[in-house]
Amino acid sequence: MKKIYAYQITEGIDIKQFRKQYAGAEYFANNSEVFYCGDNERYLYVFSYGVVVFSGYDETQMSESIEFLRPFCKILLPERNSEVFVINDEASKDKFGFNEAYLSKFNPDVMRIVMLNVGQSAALDYFSQQASGLLETTKAYTNELQKSGNLKISSKKLMKFIGKTLNVKNNIIENIYIIDSPDETWEDEYLTKLDSGLKNTFDIKDRFRDIEYHLQIVKENLDLFIDMSNHRRSNNLEIIVIVLILFEVIQALIESLTLH
C-alpha cells in the first residue's frame, strides 16, 4: 500500500529554475512539470500551477521539500489545499474507489499517472474555491441590488473586483491543460484505462466544467455592473454639466443686476 499526498502550496512554481537547483533523478520533465523517482520507491511530482505531490516521503521530508521549493514559488499560500490517495498495488484486477485504487500493475509510469491525477484534483479544489469566492462576492452585490435597487459600489472598487476576476480566470485558462491526458496514455492501453478510471474517480472534467460555469455567471454579472456603473457615471456627468450651466446663468444674472 502506498499513500500519495498532494498540496497546492502556491499559485505558480518556476519549474525551469527548480530543475536547475534540485538534484533528484528526473524520470519525466517538460516546461510545466517534473517527475522524480528516488530510492526506496520515493516519488516527487512538481507542477507549474503550484501543486507538489509526494509518495514515500514522511512528514519531515515533505516539509523540507516544500521549504526547498519556496524560492521558486510566486507566493506561498497561507492555507494549503491537500489531497490524499491510497494505492493498493498487489490487486488481481484494477478497481477504483473513494480516495483509493486497487491496481494489478505497478511501475514508475503507473505511479506518474496516478500522482498526476491526484495533483490535478488538488489544483481543481483550489480553482473551485477561487471561483466560488468570486461568485459569492457577486451574489452579495446582486442581493444588494435586489433590496435597494442600487449598486452601492464605487467605480474604483468595481474595477479592482473585475481585475481580480480576470486574474483568476486567466490563471485557470493558462492551466487548462491539467485536464488533458498525457501523451503516454495514447501509446499504452493500460495507462489509458488507468488515466480514464482516475479521472472518473476524481470527477476531473465535471469539476472543471463547474468552475467554467461559475466564472461565466460572474462574467455576466460583471457585464451588468459595468453597464450600470457607466450609466451612473453618465448621469453624474450630466448633473455636473447642468450645475455648471446653472452656475454660469446665475453668474450672468448677478453681473447683469450689478451693472443695472
Per-residue pLDDT tens over the stretch 154-211: 767 777 877 887 787 777 777 766 667 777 778 889 999 999 999 999 988 888 888 8
Q: What average pLDDT score do residues 205-228 get?
A: 81
Residue 254 pLDDT class (50, 70, 90 cuts): low
Residue 255 pLDDT class (50, 70, 90 cuts): low
Q: What does the angle CA 17 – CA 173 – CA 126 come to, to the nearest 5 degrees?
A: 75
CA Rg, the chain, in Å? Answer: 27
Q: According to the model, what pLDDT value does residue 260 have? A: 54
Per-residue pLDDT tens over the stretch 16-34: 999 999 988 899 999 899 9
Instruction: Cell numbers for 97, please give them.
Output: 474507489
Among residues 15, 79, 53, 80, the alpha carbon closest in space to that of 198 is found at 53
User: Which strands form 26-29's sheet, in the order they lie side by side?
Assistant: 26-29, 33-38, 42-47, 51-55, 2-10, 76-88, 100-102, 95-97
What percent of the residues of the chain are helix, what percent strand, and what percent coil, each to the nearest 5?
A: 65, 20, 20
In angstroms, rounded to a whole number, what is the distance separating the alpha carbons of residues 120 and 201? 12
In angstroms, rounded to a whole number, what is the distance separating the alpha carbons of residues 246 and 241? 9
